[in-house]
Amino acid sequence: MTMLKLLGFPASNYYNMVKMALMEKGAAYEDVRVYSGSKEEFLSKSAMGKVPCLETPDGFLTETSVILDYIEDAVDGPSFYPADPYERARVRELVKYSELYLELPARRCYGEAFFGTGPVSQEVKDSVRPVLERGCSAIKRRGRFTPYLAGDTLTYADMVFLHSFPMAASVAHSVFDWNLTEELPQAQALLEHLNQRPVVAQIAEDTKQGMKEFRKAYGMAD
């Protein structure tokens, strides 16, 4: 297979989910630095103008959970889905919970929490907080934490959670003065466990550097 190319930037949590999958698979891939945007040249690769975008021998792919499924199907290496169909679906369910009920609601407050673009409206705050609360409660009910989110092996559910919960927790802390870990105490041990993986340590290091480059690219203060 021709080498895969991962388009994106290390300050992006979605890019890091895909990067983690590729690295945990032990895949050879080329990292192509692209910041999201609406130029025609980029839209021809990523129709929503978002990253990550994966260039495969057959064409481009976007949407993180779709890319993760492609990696599982097309790339050699360890599997990050259980073999059993129900257990596999449960992993996908947990992926959805993190994406829809942690990452996306939290993202509505990223401007205030991370980019200094001013406070979000009370209306947004009032709609974000209950979703985060229910998201944590759902993950508490459905997660296994033994020690991984979906059971005793690393799955894509961990990769998505690892790059969603901490963002949501930062938003909760800075926007709501709220400790999200109290809603989902199991998150702490899971994150500590995942942070011990060499791949995760490498991604964290790259993200630190990537954050500086991102701020420079967008003319933000350090």
| Residues that bind ligand GSH in the complex, under the rule CB under 6 A | 12-14, 36, 49-52, 63-64
Looking at the DSSP assignment, which residues form a beta bridge with residue 5? 30, 55
Provide, rounded to whole angstroms, the least separation between the CB of residue 87 and ligand GSH.
Answer: 23
Question: 50 vs 144, which CB is nearer to ligand GSH?
Answer: 50
Residue 60 CB, shortest distance to ligand GSH, in Å, is 13
Q: Which is nearer to ligand GSH, 179 or 209 (CB)?
A: 209
Are 135 and 105 within 8 A, CB to CB? yes
Q: How far is the CB of 143 from ligand GSH (least distance, A)?
A: 20
| Minimum CB distance to ligand GSH smaller for 12 or for 183 | 12
> By C-beta, is 54 or 183 nearer to ligand GSH?
54
Q: Could you give phi then psi for residue 31, rounded to 5 degrees?
A: -95, 120
| 67-81 as b/e: b if 16+ CB within 10 A | bbbbbbeebeeeebb
Nearest approach, Cβ of residue 138 and ligand GSH (Å): 19
C-alpha 29/C-alpha 11 separation (Å) is 18
CB of 14 to ligand GSH, least distance (A): 4
DSSP 120: P
Is residue 120 within 8 A of residue 109, CB to CB? The reply is yes
Of 41 and 152, CB closest to ligand GSH: 41
Measured from the Cβ of residue 124, the count of other Cβ atoms closer than 10 Å reads 16
* Paired sense of beta strands 29-33 and 53-56, if any: unpaired
